[in-house]
Amino acid sequence: MQEAPTQDSVSSRGFTLLELLIVCLLISISLGLSIPSLRSTLTSDDLAAGSRKVISLVKSSRAKAVTDQEAYLIFYDSAERKLWYQKADDEKTTDTSAAITLPSDVYIQDIKQAGGGSAQDTMNSGIWISREGYMDKTVIQLADMEGKSLNLVISPFLPTINVTEGPVTFP
């Protein structure tokens, strides 16, 4: 014969439907309040958006150099805040079809290369990419009008681009 369940064994089995509904309601309310502010934070950060655009351009230019088996250069026009790449031997034509424009309050503060001396001005002569997709270790410093800045550290052989804050020194 079966014994009737005692009060202790019934209450220790799990949560009631009412408790689960209340927890789900609290979670949905907190998500409903936090998602709009999170969305606006992610989309309104022009410095982060500018860095994503520059990273995308560098990666696509390296891929294009490998695909075409030709050297490429990345140029920056500070007046229009545009970056673009073109073949290294194509000095006369400036094809800006693959150009990106930085957000209105973001600009490139400086471009430093580990192999470039003071005689080489990468802002005017461009950042060289070999036909294998290799390039000197390069740091692109982005800044905005509020004084915030980011450094994009491009590795010579690795496809990853590190984003850092603060000063960057070359070994």
pLDDT tens, the chain, 171 aa long:
566 666 655 556 788 999 999 999 999 999 999 888 877 766 667 888 888 899 999 999 999 999 999 999 888 888 888 888 888 887 655 556 678 888 888 888 888 887 754 444 555 678 888 889 888 888 899 988 888 889 999 988 888 888 888 777 665
pTM summary value: 0.68
The tally of domains found in the chain comes to 1
Domain around 76: 47-164
Structure token digits, residue 154: 């491009």
Rounded-to-integer distance, Cα 112 and Cα 119, Å: 12
Cα separation, 23 vs 40, whole angstroms? 27
Residue 5 lies in a domain: no
Lookup: tokens for 135: 């390039």
Inside any domain, residue 80: yes
Instruction: Provide the CATH number for the domain around residue 146.
Output: 3.55.40.10
**CA separation for the pair 51, 63 (Å, rounded):** 18
Listed in sequence order, the residues at least 6 apart from 93 whose beta carbon sits closer than 8 Å to its beta carbon are 86
